[in-house]
Structure 1
Amino acid sequence: MTSILRSIAVAAALVLSGCAADRQMAATAAQPAAPIAKAKIFVIAANPLATEAGMAVLRRGGSAADASVAVQAMLSLVEPQSSGVGGGGFMSYYDAASRKVVVYDGRETAPAGATPDMFLDDNGKPLPFRDAVLSGRATGVPGAVKMLALVQQRHGALPWRTLFTDAERTAREGFVVSPRLGKFLASGAFPESNAPDVLAYFAKPGGGLVGPGDRLRNPAYATFLGRLAAQGTDALYAGETARRIVARVQAGPLAGTMTLADLARYTPSEREAVCGRYRVYAVCVPPPPASGVGMLQLLMLLERTDIAERGPDDAQAWYLFAAASRLMYADRDRYFGDPAFVQVPVTGLIDPTYVASRARLIGATAGPPPEAGTPPGAPVAANDRQVEPVGTSHFIVGDAQGNVVSMTTTVESIFGSGRMVDGFFLNNQMTDFAFSPRDAAGRPAANAVAAGKRPRSSMTPLILLDADRRFAGAIGSAGGNAILAYVGKSLVAAIDWKLPMQQAIALPNLIARGGSFQGEADRFSSAVRAGLLARGVDVRAGQGEDSGVHGVIVRNGMLDGGYDPRREGRVMIEDAPVR
């Protein structure tokens, strides 16, 4: 699988002159970044306790890889609605010594017993999402822990066993439930919030569920982390925890097929990043089944407009963003899947001639939903607009040697499948697959279920490089299918409109996909909303506006970091410790 993706990524990189900006660019473009004057360490994560856990590792000489393990261990405890050791993710890793970006794929895989029709009912109709997400069939073989272990083995500086101290102590002593976690527990909008394991874990002794300000302890998770620290990945993929995962997944309703053999055989993948250019930056992203190539296409479409000459108060700027987003999503939804199983036209989707032809479809007003194009090398495929709930988390870590991690991590829906083992929730990533393997015309879905296959993901943790391949920034987001819109908006605001990263992230969100225009309608000015409406874009509140963008960009040798104010993130930047 790795060799297939490597060849695809290399071909795409050749089309775009590779991850490094070419020498003409170096000669003609202004330098977007300069070497950071004094070595810095930094962590940006969605919860202050996770940020502090990562920073504690960096302060004692740990690497970005080491700190990432600590961050994920803490997020699994304090932000269980979004990510955890029972889930998966994608990491883009910048190696300062080689100035290369490598992608680590910890996406979940379908068990060997998975079948293309597993989410169809007896009449051949797709199951209701609520039934599917709470079922045993929803859980894929988790990949985050093995992926992090691989990265830490290759790039770590501290012993694995020392990276779980803060999370284990916090689980035993307890942590204060945050407003965001309390909101999801109190909401009846998510089926997982009423799952038996969720209700049991968050129950208060006197009745009801914990809420903001309450202290929550998780001794089962503390015990598991102790074994994970001592035993390595076998603590999850073999032994007692593995047996409990299999039993929980194989329980009804709609029992899954995961076995101990599925867990034992899981292998994370190292992949070459696909890199393109936006303005003076090289933008390096994960290849399929992640959606980084969709992000490159979106940026290429926007570069063929005058959006950079406009700004956040200009309705035409937001219209251009919406129009380009619709074109990108149309292609992404049709062609993206696991390239070990289907042909994904990576090179064709970001071919300059093809992108230019798509950009010419951006008219003065929004019309009907655009159809997917036919990029070079495109196979016959069905449209797939599968629901992707708004779970997930993103974090960024930079160490004293200049290595940087940009990682998006998830259990998929809120609290994953709602099923818990040893103090952590199991993912529901299988529901990221297309429920119907073919459309009404008989065209196969690129994202159909298959044994061992990785589901399509909207995750796009990216790294920015300057013309000399030096680190220039990193960004990513939570938010299901809206991730691409969240990250794209923030990049445009930070790069084109020159806003500080914090302000760029805080701008209103607009997600244009198919026939819908969702976003934070009330946060746009009346003039922008009126201008959008005149152009056929009626922004409505709906799923997807709760983003979780975290980003950092190098400006004049200084790190400019930001967290999403819609969540509970924290940015910590410090001078590197003197050794």
Structure 2
Amino acid sequence: MKRFWGTSLIVAFLSVFLALGSAVAASPGVPEGAPSPYTGMVSTAHPLASLVGARVLASGGNAVDAAVATQFALNVVEPQMSGIGGGGFMMIYLAKEGKVIAIDCREQAPAGATPQMFLDDGGKPLSFEVALQSGHAVGVPGTLKGLVTALEKYGTMTLSSLIEPAIELAERGVVVNAPLAQHIAENAYKFNDAAKSVFMPGGEPLPKGALLVQSDLAKTFKLIRDGGPGVFYNGEVGQALVNAVREKAGTMSMEDLTGYEVKFRDPVRGNYRGYEIVSMGPPSSGGLTLLQMLKILEGYDIKALGHNTPQTLHLMIEAMHLSYADRAKYLADADFVDIPFKGYLDERYIAERRKLIDIVHATPDVTAGDIWEYEGEGPQALRAGEAEKDRGETTHFTVMDKWGNLVSYTTTIEDVFGSGIMVPGYGFMLNNEMTDFDFTPGGVNEVAPGKRPRSSMTPTIAFKDGKCAFSVGSPGGATIITSVMQVIMNMIDHGMNVQEAIDAPRIYSSSFPKVRWEAHLPEWIRNALKLRGHVMEEKPSVIGSVQSIVIDLETGKLYGGADPRREGTVIGVR
């Protein structure tokens, strides 16, 4: 078999990293004067994953082919963030049809799940740390079936060829980078024995620079290569998965796996300053929450107020509070609850919410609004959900091919290393996605058999006058939505090129009063926000890891941005 990682290939692909200029062209995010001889592009959180995707594009594959190969590679190089033990949401833009496809391969609750499964014997919610290590935390994985579905419908290459690079990476080993080393050390407490044997050989966490070899994962990928997804959903891999969950008191069965279905969803759409923003709908809350925040902020001259000034940040924080309050009350799996899709972005409702913002002072008592009043006749929503869980990591990547097709894909196992459960003998981590449900029953996001937990994943594609303008997405739990929002605003409102828009420090706040902030946000700005009534966290945090591709609307040239908060890497293909 011909080896994938020839030195000449590595040199050839590394030579096409993008050089971004500082001046900005008319199209949002485009760096004026920067060279772009590329016909295709991949942007991921890891250079080897980007290289895998770029090789597929260079060999004639389309964006979906490259996305499939990239996801398998990410399972190897970022095993703590995503993989076949998890799920996600894939947005595909088909250039020839001018159509956006939204694929939901989110995990779902097993048939044995109950609304009380995250309560202790006294009826009180378990702590997150306790709940995530239980077998109840593991949802039925959808990533593999999502990849196969996308490939069969929209790809051009075979599953066996696209999984091969990941097999080689897993067998030969990858160098542990700084984020992975940190995550292994911080999450060792929840590893089962199988995970410890891989990430802590000899009892010590693998340090930065060590070689991570995943022979069991390579074995699993070979089984999938040779036998297709059936070995996972109705075969030996699935049985091992079920056994691992049941050893941790979970209820998952082979019937849960064989019954899992990928769903095609209608994407949600809205407009922001002349751009159509297309994003993921429920069971992800990302799209509607993003669009609502943008619509609220569209009522202010953000450009004139300036980037990351106290006034701009104050308005952003207040818009976040309003939208996250609505999110908790109304958004969940649309197959189980009624959602006021029309009312959510109704201009009258947006204006009503905007009026609640005090332009000088923080508002302490933000509650959800009555969206059904603007929807027409409809059911009343259940009570508001729990406070947002902003933990969680995930990964996001984006791919564009020479035919103009684009994939924006956010994929996850929820917390870092998910539940901490590795399937013994098969080498992949299992998600803890069920902890995205409310622990206390009664809200729209309560646990139910077959239900998919509310997500924050926000894979997004923007259009101008019908032309694809850019893609954007991020990991980060509930912070995903605000990271995507800020990068969009940085490009459209503040005229930043895509890399500048990604690099800029971000904030996050889902409810009054605490505000999370990143390093490089000046102290005087933080103090000014404190004077307005906001409580800034004591220390900075890292918020998100955004990957993006932008298209010059005048020339069609491609440019990319990748987040340095991890090892974000953009590779263009000539």
Match of 1:110 in 2: 109
Match of 2:142 in 1: 143
> Which amino acid letter does the alignment assign opposite residue 290 of structure 1?
S
> In 1, distance between residues paired with 2:72 and 2:160?
12
Contact 1:62 1:158 in 2 (8 A): yes
> Which amino acid letter does the alignment assign opposite residue 300 of structure 1?
K
> In 2, distance between residues paired with 1:458 and 1:124?
27
Match of 2:269 in 1: 275
Cα drift, residue 121 of structure 1: 1.2
> In 1, distance between residues paired with 2:27 and 2:485?
21
Residues 351, 55 of structure 1: alpha-carbon distance in 2 compared, 3 angstrom cutoff: same
Q: Deviations over 1:513-563 (max 9, x none)?
A: 112433235421133223212222232157963311111222343333211
Residues 257, 425 of structure 1: alpha-carbon distance in 2 compared, 3 angstrom cutoff: same
> In 1, distance between residues paired with 2:308 and 2:217?
47
Q: More deviation in 130-139 or 232-241?
A: 232-241
Q: Deviations over 1:4-23 (max 9, x none)?
A: xxxxxxxxxxxxxxxxxxxx
Match of 1:367 in 2: 363
Contact 2:447 2:453 in 1 (8 A): yes
Residues 141, 542 of structure 1: alpha-carbon distance in 2 compared, 3 angstrom cutoff: farther
2:403 aligns with one of 401, 404, 408: 401
> Which amino acid letter does the alignment assign opposite residue 216 of structure 2?
A
Cα drift, residue 568 of structure 1: 0.9
**Unaligned regions of 5+ residues in structure 1, if any?**
1-29, 439-444
In the TM superposition, 1:56-455 aligns within 5 A as 56-187=55-186, 191-192=189-190, 194-205=191-202, 207-252=203-248, 255-291=249-285, 292-363=287-358, 364-376=360-372, 377=375, 378-421=380-423, 422-438=426-442, 445-455=443-453
> In 1, distance between residues paired with 2:131 and 2:308?
42
> In 1, distance between residues paired with 2:241 and 2:419?
12
Residues 369, 566 of structure 1: alpha-carbon distance in 2 compared, 3 angstrom cutoff: farther
1:518 aligns with one of 496, 515, 518: 515
Contact 1:51 1:71 in 2 (8 A): yes
Cα drift, residue 565 of structure 1: 1.4
Contact 1:386 1:434 in 2 (8 A): no
How many residues are paired up? 533
Q: More deviation in 238-247 or 518-527?
A: 518-527
After superposition, the CA RMSD in angstroms is 1.9
Match of 1:17 in 2: none
> In 2, distance between residues paired with 1:387 and 1:212?
29
Match of 1:26 in 2: none
> In 1, distance between residues paired with 2:37 and 2:563?
26
Q: Deviations over 1:296-328 (max 9, x none)?
A: 101101101121223225211111111111111
Match of 2:4 in 1: none
SS in 1 for 2:409: strand
Q: More deviation in 351-360 or 540-549?
A: 540-549
Q: Deviations over 1:38-89 (max 9, x none)?
A: 7611100111111111111111111111111111111111111111110000
Residues 313, 39 of structure 1: alpha-carbon distance in 2 compared, 3 angstrom cutoff: closer
> In 2, distance between residues paired with 1:154 and 1:302?
38
Cα drift, residue 381 of structure 1: 2.3
> In 2, distance between residues paired with 1:195 and 1:523?
38
> Which amino acid letter does the alignment assign opposite residue 319 of structure 2?
A
SS in 1 for 2:201: coil
SS in 2 for 1:488: helix
Contact 2:36 2:559 in 1 (8 A): no
2:528 aligns with one of 528, 531, 536: 531
> Which amino acid letter does the alignment assign opposite residue 335 of structure 1?
Y
> In 1, distance between residues paired with 2:485 and 2:365?
20
> In 1, distance between residues paired with 2:140 and 2:538?
34
Contact 1:392 1:410 in 2 (8 A): yes
Match of 2:54 in 1: 55
Cα drift, residue 186 of structure 1: 1.9
Contact 1:39 1:401 in 2 (8 A): no
Contact 2:43 2:568 in 1 (8 A): yes
Match of 1:9 in 2: none
Cα drift, residue 145 of structure 1: 0.8
Contact 2:293 2:320 in 1 (8 A): yes
> In 1, distance between residues paired with 2:182 and 2:331?
33
> In 2, distance between residues paired with 1:545 and 1:484?
15
Residues 31, 79 of structure 1: alpha-carbon distance in 2 compared, 3 angstrom cutoff: closer
Cα drift, residue 398 of structure 1: 0.6
Contact 2:109 2:451 in 1 (8 A): yes
2:459 aligns with one of 455, 458, 461: 461
> Which amino acid letter does the alignment assign opposite residue 301 of structure 2?
D
Match of 1:504 in 2: 501
Residues 143, 131 of structure 1: alpha-carbon distance in 2 compared, 3 angstrom cutoff: same
> In 2, distance between residues paired with 1:217 and 1:512?
39
SS in 2 for 1:513: coil
Match of 1:12 in 2: none
> Which amino acid letter does the alignment assign opposite residue 57 of structure 1?
V
> Which amino acid letter does the alignment assign opposite residue 431 of structure 2?
N
> In 2, distance between residues paired with 1:31 and 1:98?
23
> Which amino acid letter does the alignment assign opposite residue 464 of structure 1?
A
SS in 2 for 1:530: helix
Contact 1:518 1:544 in 2 (8 A): no
> In 2, distance between residues paired with 1:424 and 1:67?
21
TM-score (norm 1): 0.89
Cα drift, residue 148 of structure 1: 1.1
Residues 184, 505 of structure 1: alpha-carbon distance in 2 compared, 3 angstrom cutoff: same
Q: More deviation in 379-388 or 46-55?
A: 379-388
> In 2, distance between residues paired with 1:542 and 1:345?
38
> In 1, distance between residues paired with 2:404 and 2:518?
39
Cα drift, residue 32 of structure 1: 6.2
Cα drift, residue 106 of structure 1: 0.4
Q: More deviation in 524-533 or 119-128?
A: 524-533
SS in 2 for 1:416: coil
TM-score (norm 2): 0.89
SS in 1 for 2:41: strand
Match of 2:9 in 1: none
> In 1, distance between residues paired with 2:180 and 2:297?
36
> Which amino acid letter does the alignment assign opposite residue 154 of structure 2?
H
> In 1, distance between residues paired with 2:27 and 2:414?
38
Contact 2:320 2:511 in 1 (8 A): no
Cα drift, residue 245 of structure 1: 0.4
> In 2, distance between residues paired with 1:197 and 1:388?
28
Contact 1:219 1:423 in 2 (8 A): yes
Contact 1:82 1:415 in 2 (8 A): yes
**Unaligned regions of 5+ residues in structure 2, if any?**
1-25
Match of 1:11 in 2: none
Contact 2:40 2:558 in 1 (8 A): no
> In 2, distance between residues paired with 1:386 and 1:204?
36
Moved over 4 A (4+): 30-34, 36-39, 541-544
Residues 210, 257 of structure 1: alpha-carbon distance in 2 compared, 3 angstrom cutoff: same
